[in-house]
A and B are shown apart, each in its own frame.
Chain A
Amino acid sequence: MKKSIKIYPAAILISFLALASCKKTIDIEPTHTANGDVIFDKISDYESALTGAYARLLSVNYYGSSNGSSAFSVLSDMMTDNLFESSESLGNYQNFSHWVYTADDTNIDATWLAAYRVIQQCNLTLRNIDKLASTDQGAVNRIKAQALALRAYVHFDILRYWGEGTLRNSILRGIPYVSSFDIEQKPARLTVKESYDAIINDLQLAKSLMQDMDKPIQSTTSTASTARAYIDEIVVNAVLARIYNYAAVPDSAIKYSSLVIAARPLASRANFPLIWQDANTSEVIWSVKFTPLNSGVGDNVYYAVGNRASYRPTTNLTALYDQANDVRYSSYFQLRARGSGSRLVVSKYLAKQAQLGKPDGITDFKVFRTGEMYLIRAEAYAANGLEGPALADLNTLRAARINGFVPGTETGAALINAISNERRKELVCEGQRWFDLKRSDRIVDRISNCNVFCSLDASAREWVWPLPQSEILANANIEQTAGY
């Protein structure tokens, strides 16, 4: 007995030392996240990374809204004469609607980061993908094309806020163009022209890759709720049309908008309201898909769940519509009850069809529609002096939207003004108004519903956003926007 007792402690000791000494104890791999050094050896991993890039657009600082900058959905309208801040607002976006932002503004910082985060995810999708080209060229092309096009598109969005100029050959400061994932890089700002060059280059490369793919980009079995979710060739053409219009290159704008119009005709008046309920995708070119797990697109303007209309349409805007006959008026605006009364709110992003009874503000963000393509082409024709085709496009659009529309006969300045007004009516809260003003006369004039901060003149520095202070501190190669 005594002997065996003596052996025990030694045995216990040795067994625990053996157990503990095993070096494998400290080699632990994650199970609920994936290690980037381990995955990316098959097409499906790259597909997943691309899905991630699209998902980055749902950020509250991109197309999402609640508690974020909503920079590319509704913020651009909050900064202009389309909307005014109501007493229901919590005041979180006054820096923007009052144009008093500075380099340390948290929303500017968050927008910069959210946009480059989409690009980061595109670049991760492209990282080393070519090693699979020999085995699956078609799939590689399909994934690469989307990643390149999305990367280019987001750079263009960044250029719209931060580019000091808008014209195609402007040598003012543009933006850094990031085409690889390397956290140590400190890119400088290109000129506006160079920024456009890089953007258009990626888009053209994407288009050429789209000619040789293993399968179509859009799902062939999609329903209204899943259709037009991805960037295919039509979307790339629409991106190019918008870019050339913004950069004032009418010929190219006409070329690409015509391609899109041919592929996706305008919606009927019956279908038009259903677009906003995500029950119909007529004329929708690219729709970024939101689910109840994301934030609402329009929350910062009208927060449907809390019935808080922080920003409301100005009477100056609503007076432009033929309110009884224009399908857009009833699709975009509604009287919503509050207390014993009611007020007009932007209801464009109220809810998907099934939720209209108890609206949650969750809808898809329609990035491109054919309506915009008609307006781009009309504007480009007019710029080229082709008033007839310009008026024809304008009238086609107006006839499609307004019941009993009598074709207009505007010419000259009146035509240009009519196209501009139509853009305002057509694209309210679709992320365009601020940029339309920026590329034209650079004046915001809130002639209704305004007591303070009612106008911004052309010389104001605020037409170009400051780079975030954090970028200035971290990146020695970058220059702050003029005036900040």
Chain B
Amino acid sequence: MKKLTMIIITLSSMLVSYAQRTLTGTVTDAQDGSPLPGVSVSLNGSKGGVITNPAGRYSIQVTGNAVLLFSIVGYNDITVNSGSGSTLDISMQIIRKNLQEVVVTGYNTQTRRQSTASITRISGDDVKSQPIGSFEQMLQGKSPGILIQSQSGQPGSAATVTIRGKGSVLGSTDPLYILDGVQITASDFQSINPSDIETYNILKDATGTAQYGSRGANGVIVITTKRGANQKTKINYDVQYGWAELPKNKLELMTSAEKINYELNYDRPDGTNPFGWTPEEADSLSKVNANLKDALFRRSTTAQHQLSLSGGNDKTRFFVSGSLFNQQGLVITTGLRRATGRVNIDHTIGNFKIGINTYVGSSTFTNTNENDQFIGSPLNAIRWANPYVTPYLPDGSYNELDLLLQGQPNALKELIENPGKNKQLKLVGALSVDYKFPGIKGLSARTNIGVDYTENENQQYFDRTTYQGSQQTGGQGSFGQNTTKNNRYTVTTSVSYARQIRANRFNISLFNEVVKRKFNGFGYTGFGLVGPFKNGAGITPGTSSNGFIPVVTSTETENAILSYFAIADYSYKNRYILSGTVRRDGSSRLADDNKWTTFGAIGASWVVSSEKFLSNSKLISDLKLKVSYGSSANQGVGDDYEAKEQFGPVSYNGVGGLILTNLKKGDLTWEVRRTFNAGVDFGLLKNRITGSVEFYNSNTIGLYLNRQISGTNGANTILTNLGKLQNRGVEVALNFTVLQTKNLTWDIGGNFTYNRNRILQLDGTNENVNGLSINRVGESANSVYVVRYAGVDPATGEALYYTKDGKTTTQYDPNDKVIVGKYDPPYFGGFNTSVNLKGIEASFLFTYSFGNKIYNGDRVNVENPVYYVSNLSKDLLTEWQHPGDVTNIPSPFNDFQPNTTRFVEDGKYVRLRNVTLSYTIPAGTFGSKISAVRFFVQGQNLITWSSFKGYDPEIASGVLQGAQYPALKAITVGLNLGL
């Protein structure tokens, strides 16, 4: 054998000496067209070869039609015939998910192979170009187990994010967000620049969440930002413009002619023609098309620019970025402007590694009221204003007719004359020092000091001529300004020891952490804005007689967590892996006897594909089984002093006093979520098919509920740890590279989650009713609880209801309420496909959820015949009028009952969340200076399939109050440029 090999080598070297030529080319990343340095290029079967330079260029000597192998870690190898030319450009595909992927828990970083946790990793670059102000919305449909509901399309508004079902009924269900080791507040995301983000790591099971102890129960989203690499300085510029508009409205209202007809000809308890129109007036009003919607809304624009530089050498690496984002709101006067800057530096000196992250985000945004039933909200006005009342009079002044007819102010006037604005300054900084102890191999220490600082300032002016202005104290408008500051620092210090002894590898880290948050707020509202100034200068000083006494508010609260914890991993042959965490948290928020709680988790995994019996398998390339169990808790309930009996300030007859504001809760403790997780990660056919299937069961014990107490105590509920809640589910994720050739790639992928939420125990009682929802043992938390509507009796026009035992009755009785569904969707997910042909890529992302119900309060307000002075639903044209009328709308003489299934709708939907068409110009087209050029057009929320009667079925709470600001339909065009 040896001999033979020698002969071949000799032969080939002889051939080489025959007709050798130089082949050159550029290797690029197929996804973004950026050059790939460090790619090994070799003649197939031979050792040696060349490496691409920082610009991705290579040059190799070949003979004839040679077979070339291109390879680099993290990308699929490419074997290709050289042909006879002198240039050959190659684009390489990143290897889709496999066990080499790096996942980050915040306290440690591992490859997926080594981790026993259930973690989804999403690349920031995959989602960053969606035209959305708040980054968490971009993750919708991207990962199993995480439900993201963007209730609002308001620029910069945050979505509701739920990981593996709501584990709490009263407490927060928001996950914990960690940005480069620093806890950040979910409500400030409009000031974070999504383009800075390298990865999102979603920690779902106890292996990950127990590391966060009393904060981890709702899952953790660990975000890392981009950092420089040891390479030539890269400059990237991204620009994007777009337009957005309201989605289709499915709640149809009466036109002018229909409304006038309804007023004049429908028999009502108050008689007909409530406004006493003369026939001439009625006739002319019927022809008016007021179109308030067009006056209040616009096609809004979005523009964003982002510039970044990254690079470094072997000692110092840097990433610097700046961005501008400007998104108009759909409602005139609203919008978000944001400017951000980031500097990340890593520096190594000797045994030290120092990391500095600094981020500044500044945003200015103007919102409008939403999800309320306030008559001053423009989004309600488009429903309630009479269709024959134009926003302006012919002379250009505001038309106040609706204020007179029905007390509905002119929404346009309220909006334009009452400007408000919010400013937010966000600073996130972290300094880390890593130290490797010389002399003791594997021993290191680390300190990370992080600060999350948010300053909000909002200003609101109410003009005295407006409805809202006239309602201010003193009736002459107001100006208010509020400033809040939220300052949280996190100091984490750890000592780690990692060693490998033959096939045994272990790693243990001991941590100490303090997280301290201080919040303070100051605000004032002054009255009597009668002069020329529309700001603080216009406030009339208050006297005892003029009524313009200003309101001044001030708050300050503080909380802290002190923790000690240990995280350990052990693996044998890199195949059998064990991990464990123990964390003890002390919290300032609990009563003295209850301050300390211990959490923990253990996990194990087995990389089956590394076993001999699979190592030669053609089918299975990766296979890993994992299991974990552990606990973590939820802090998001009550205020910072919830356990203490608190008295707040009040005044009577000019004298200050105290009133009880919070009941003492000496036994209060955290609600603890214990999660079991079992799963399999797999890769088939050289990872052309990858995926995972996981099963989880999480029980929340000590569930926070409002224990009902006798109202004769002056309170009828008290927050108590009294229940038990279960979330059990299955998650499936699958990716399939259908085609992968040099010029054409086609990927499809999808994920699906089923989460079953069930109350296991309530303290002593079997159920706990809260308005339209109920918590009952054996059912989903927050189940829809209403009386079943049985239509209308054609003979009398009376509404019919079902009693509890299914008989029809005309008598509405709250005791006949039954559970008719759940507000939280049990089934949800997303699927996507992308096709790339010679740099032209089309990708589609769909999201869906089903199995839930929505209570449509928007309809209640336009189907209640009492509001006949406002505009009404078109459906009321079919209102029962005469015996024999067969309709679903009862007689206006019948008592209107809103809490019935009449207003409960199916919440299922499928949405084309994002579609992107892009073209990446081959590297080198514009010379070596420009390394990547990509154009794209994308559509956001272009199509939604749903039967919900409103703008949008995505309603996080399941109850739409009114004034819906839906997720917008948007189209943007953009350019990415790499230098």
Beta-carbon contact of B659 and A121 below 8 Å: yes
Q: Is B514 touching A12 in the complex (CB atoms < 8 A)?
A: no
Q: Distance in Å from the Cβ of A90 to the closest Cβ of chain B?
A: 7
Tell whether A96 is near chain B: CB-to-CB under 8 Å: no
A252 within 8 A of B: no
A23 to B561, CA, bound (A): 10
Cβ of A113 under 8 Å from chain B: yes
A339 CB contacts on chain B under 8 angstroms: 404
Q: Mark B742-776, 1 if CB is under 8 A from A, else 0.
A: 00000000000000000000000100010000000
Further contacts, 18 of them, CB under 8 A, given A5-B351, A21-B562, A50-B657: A9-B445, A12-B433, A16-B447, A29-B641, A35-B644, A36-B647, A37-B645, A45-B658, A51-B655, A116-B712, A187-B712, A229-B653, A289-B653, A305-B471, A305-B475, A306-B471, A451-B271, A474-B708
Asked if B475 contacts A474 (CB within 8 A), the reply is no
The answer, yes or no, to whether B493 is at the interface (CB within 8 Å) is yes
Interface string of A54-70 (1 = CB under 8 A from B): 11101000000000000
Q: Which of the listed residues A21, A29, A34, A469 has the most CB atoms from chain B within 10 Å of its own CB? A: A34
Chain B CB within 8 A of A176 CB: yes
Q: Please report the C-alpha to C-alpha distance between residue A360 and residue B708 in the assembled complex, in whole angstroms.
A: 38
Pick the residue among A23, A35, A54, A91 that contacts B652 (CB under 8 A). Answer: A54
Q: Given the complex of chains A and B, what is the CA–CA distance between A91 and B269 in angstroms?
A: 13
Asked if A103 contacts B814 (CB within 8 A), the reply is yes
Name B644's contact: one of A16, A23, A30 (CB within 8 Å).
A30
Q: Which of B697-715 contact A (CB under 8 A)?
A: 708-715
Judged by a CB distance under 8 angstroms, whether A473 is at the interface is: yes
**In the complex, what residues of B have CB within 8 A of residue A102's CB?**
813-814
Task: Please give me the residue from chain B that is nearest to A354 by CB atom.
Answer: B545
Give the docked Cα–Cα distance between A56 and B352 (Å): 62
A474–B647 touching, CB < 8 Å? no
What residues on B are CB-neighbors of A55 within 8 Å? 650-652, 657, 659
Which of B552-560, B913-921, B948-956 faces chain A? B552-560
- Interface pair B664/A51, CB less than 8 Å apart: no
A185 to B653 alpha-carbon distance, docked (Å): 32
In the assembled complex, the Cα of A256 lies from the Cα of B404 at a distance in Å of: 49
A474 lies within 8 A of B709 (CB):
yes
Q: Which of B470, B473, B516, B712 contacts A475 (CB 8 A)?
A: B712
In the assembled complex, the Cα of A90 lies from the Cα of B373 at a distance in Å of: 12
CA distance A470 to B716 in the complex (A): 7
Determine how close the nearest CB of chain B comes to the CB of A266; give it in whole angstroms. 25
* 22 residue pairs bridging A and B, Cβ less than 8 Å apart: A12-B447, A25-B562, A30-B644, A32-B557, A33-B641, A33-B646, A48-B658, A49-B659, A51-B657, A52-B647, A52-B652, A91-B864, A117-B715, A186-B710, A187-B712, A229-B652, A292-B547, A305-B470, A354-B545, A452-B893, A469-B814, A471-B716
Judge whether B325 is part of the interface by a CB distance below 8 angstroms: no
Q: Please measure, in the bound complex, the distance between the C-alpha atom of A355 and the C-alpha atom of B543, giving whole angstroms.
A: 12
Bound-complex Cα distance A98 to B866 (A): 13
B651 lies within 8 A of A51 (CB): yes
B876 close to chain A: CB less than 8 A: no
Structural contact, A471 and B711, CB atoms closer than 8 A: yes
Q: Are A32 and B475 in contact (CB under 8 A)?
A: no
The interface centre, meaning the residue of A36, A121, A305 with most chain B CB atoms within 10 A of its CB, is A36
* Size bin of chain A's contact surface: 35 or more
CB of A178 closer than 8 Å to a CB of B:
yes
A470 to B712, CA, bound (A): 11
Query: B869 contacts which of A48, A87, A471 (Cβ < 8 Å)?
Result: A87
Q: Is the CB of B652 within 8 A of A87?
A: no
Task: Encode B607-649 as 1/0 by CB contact (under 8 A) with A.
Answer: 0000000000000000000000000000000001100111111
Chain B 490-508 interface 0/1 with A at a Cβ cutoff of 8 Å (1 = within): 0101010000000000000
Write the nearest CB–CB distance from A470 to chain B, whole angstroms: 5
Q: Return chain A residues, CB-CB under 8 Å to B715.
A: 113, 117, 120, 183
Q: How many A-B residue pairs have CB under 8 A?
A: 252
Hey, which chain A residues are within 8 Å of B864, CB to CB? 91
> Which residues of B (457-513) have their CB < 8 Å from a CB of A?
467, 470-471, 473-476, 491, 493, 495, 512-513
Which residues of B pack against A, CB within 8 Å?
A: 269-271, 274, 350-352, 404, 407, 433, 435, 438, 445, 447, 467, 470-471, 473-476, 491, 493, 495, 512-514, 516, 544-547, 549, 551, 554-562, 586-588, 595, 640-641, 644-664, 708-716, 718, 765, 769, 813-814, 864, 866-867, 869, 893, 895
Taking the closest CB of chain B, its distance from the CB of A220, in whole angstroms, is: 14
Please report the C-alpha to C-alpha distance between residue A52 and residue B351 in the assembled complex, in whole angstroms. Answer: 63
Name A32's contact: one of B554, B712, B814 (CB within 8 Å): B554
- CB A333 to nearest CB in B, in angstroms, measures 21
By a CB distance below 8 angstroms, the chain A residues around B588 are 25-28
CB within 8 Å for A473 and B650 given contacts A21-B512, A52-B657: no
Report Cα–Cα, A438/B814, bound state, in Å.
26
Cα distance A147–B870 when bound, in Å?
47
A32-B556, A51-B656 known; A16+B708 contact, CB < 8 A: no
Tell me if A338 is interfacial: C-beta within 8 Å of chain B.
yes
Q: Which residue of B473, B561, B640 is within 8 Å of A360 (Cβ)?
A: B473
Query: Do B407 and A308 touch across chains, with their CB atoms under 8 A apart?
Result: yes
Complex CA distance for A176 and B895, rounded to whole angstroms: 33
Instruction: Decide yes or no: A87 and B653 within 8 Å by CB, A25-B562, A28-B588 being known contacts.
Output: no
Whole-angstrom CA separation of A52 from B647 in the bound complex: 10
- Does B713 contact A26, Cβ atoms closer than 8 Å? no
A9 to B435, CA, bound (A): 7
**A32-B554, A52-B659, A451-B269 known; A26 vs B652 contact (CB < 8 Å):** no
Chain A residues with CB under 8 Å of chain B are: 5-6, 9, 12-13, 16-17, 19-21, 23, 25-37, 39, 45, 47-52, 54-56, 58, 87-88, 90-91, 94, 98, 100, 102-104, 109, 112-113, 116-121, 124, 176, 178, 181-187, 225-226, 229-230, 289, 291-293, 305-306, 308, 338-339, 354-355, 358-360, 362, 451-452, 468-471, 473-475, 478
In the bound complex, what is the Cα–Cα distance between A452 and B516 (angstroms)? 61
| CB atoms of A51 and B710 under 8 A apart | no
Distance of A289 Cα from B714 Cα, bound (Å):
22
B712 touching A36 by the CB < 8 A rule?
A: no
The 8 Å CB contact of B711, one of A17, A31, A116, A362, is: A116
- With A20-B562, A30-B646 already in contact, the answer to whether A9 and B545 are too (CB < 8 A) is no
- Which of these, B586, B595, B660, B765, contacts A36 with CB under 8 Å? B660
List the A side residues contacting B649 at CB < 8 Å: 33
CB distance from B582 to the nearest CB of A (A): 17
Determine whether the beta carbon of B650 is less than 8 Å from that of A52. yes
Most buried by A among B274, B545, B547, B649: B547
Chain A residues with CB under 8 A of B663: 183
A49 lies within 8 A of B657 (CB): yes
Distance of A124 Cα from B659 Cα, bound (Å): 9
Q: Is the CB of B514 within 8 A of A185?
A: no
Asked whether, in the complex, the Cβ of B562 is within 8 Å of the Cβ of A33, the reply is no
Q: With A and B bound together, what is the CA distance between A447 and B586 in angstroms?
A: 69
Q: Contact between A306 and B561 (Cβ–Cβ < 8 Å)?
A: no
Asked if B709 and A183 make an inter-chain contact with CB atoms under 8 angstroms apart, the answer reads: yes
Report the nearest B residue to A291, measured CB to CB: B549
Q: A94 to chain B: which residues have CB within 8 Å?
A: 866
A36 touches B641 (CB 8 A): no
The answer for the CA separation of A120 and B714 in the assembled complex, in Å, is 5
Q: A33-B647, A36-B646, A183-B715 are in contact. Are A358 and B475 (CB under 8 A)?
A: yes
Give the residue of A17, A308, A451 whose beta carbon is less than 8 angstroms from that of B270: A451
Residue among B641, B650, B711 having the largest count of chain A Cβ atoms under 10 Å: B711
Measured between beta carbons, the chain B residues less than 8 angstroms from A56 are 659
User: Whole-angstrom distance from the CB of B812 to the nearest CB of chain A?
Assistant: 8
Assess whether B447 is in contact with A26, with CB atoms less than 8 Å apart.
no
Q: Is the CB of A475 within 8 A of B710?
A: yes
Residue among B447, B467, B561, B864 with most chain A CB within 10 A = B447
Known: A20-B514, A360-B475. A28 touches B558 (CB 8 A): yes
A153 to nearest B CB, angstroms? 15
B296 to chain A, nearest CB (A): 22
**Once bound together, how far apart are the Cα atoms of A305 and B641, in whole Å?**
38
Q: With CB as the reference atom, state the residue of chain B lying closest to A14.
A: B493
